[in-house]
């Protein structure tokens, strides 16, 4: 099973450190007191341009050069945009993940998926029964697709595989 990227795990760490602020349209805004851990996370994420997220920290934009000067113990205002991109996904819960991810029907999922209510990255979901079942179903679909003689991938009502197995004479 694939692991989540370092960028994504740090993004989730930031989200957790900020007490999981409410996401609206893949954006959150919050106020926080700067700690060394928070500053280090922000510095890492700020420098990882092109990963899909944009940050605004005390009215300075991550698209600008240079990480802004922040002192431990000082108040800061933070806005993060683009939490869900083609590479990272934040879902409200397991049900929203299943409903919002058509690739699960083909046994594929992004390891960079975080479930807010469950507070977990899906690749760490062994202890969550619902997530474990979804991952097991994905694995089953993947293995069956490897055994199938061919895949009928015509678009129908769903994007699921239609696997074809041929009976020998």
Distance CA 89, CA 73 (A): 31
**What is the three-class DSSP state of 142?**
helix
Predicted local confidence at residue 157, as pLDDT: 47
Angle between helix 36-47 and 6-17 (nearest 10): 140
**What is the three-class DSSP state of 126?**
helix
Neighbouring-strand partners of residue 79: 29, 56
What is the chain's pLDDT, residue by residue, as a tens digit (169 residues)?
578 888 889 999 999 999 999 988 888 899 999 999 999 998 888 887 666 678 888 877 766 667 888 889 999 999 888 766 667 788 999 999 999 888 888 888 888 899 999 999 998 877 899 999 999 998 998 888 888 777 666 655 456 667 777 888 7
Distance CA 74, CA 71 (A): 6
Predicted local confidence at residue 27, as pLDDT: 87
Q: Does the pTM exceed 0.85?
A: no
How wide is the angle at C-alpha 114 spanned by C-alphas 104 and 39, nearest 5°? Answer: 150
Predicted local confidence at residue 156, as pLDDT: 52
Domain-wise residue ranges, the chain: 6-81, 89-164
Distance CA 54, CA 45 (A): 9
């Amino acid at each position: 099973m694939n692991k989540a990227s370092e960028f994504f795990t740090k993004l989730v760490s930031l989200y957790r450190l900020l007490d999981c602020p409410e996401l609206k349209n893949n954006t959150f805004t919050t106020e926080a007191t700067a700690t060394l851990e928070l500053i280090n996370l922000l510095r890492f994420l700020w420098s990882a341009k092109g990963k899909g997220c944009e940050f605004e920290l005390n009215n300075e934009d991550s698209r600008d050069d240079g990480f802004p000067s922040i002192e431990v113990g000082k108040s800061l205002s933070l806005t993060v945009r683009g939490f869900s991109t083609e590479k990272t996904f934040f879902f409200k819960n397991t049900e929203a993940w299943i409903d919002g991810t058509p690739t699960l029907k083909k046994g594929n999922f992004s390891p960079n998926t975080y479930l807010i209510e469950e507070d977990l990255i899906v690749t760490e979901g062994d202890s969550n029964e619902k997530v474990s079942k979804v991952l097991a179903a994905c694995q089953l679909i993947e293995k069956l697709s490897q055994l199938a003689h061919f895949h009928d991938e015509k678009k129908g009502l769903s994007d699921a595989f239609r696997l074809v197995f041929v009976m020998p004479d």
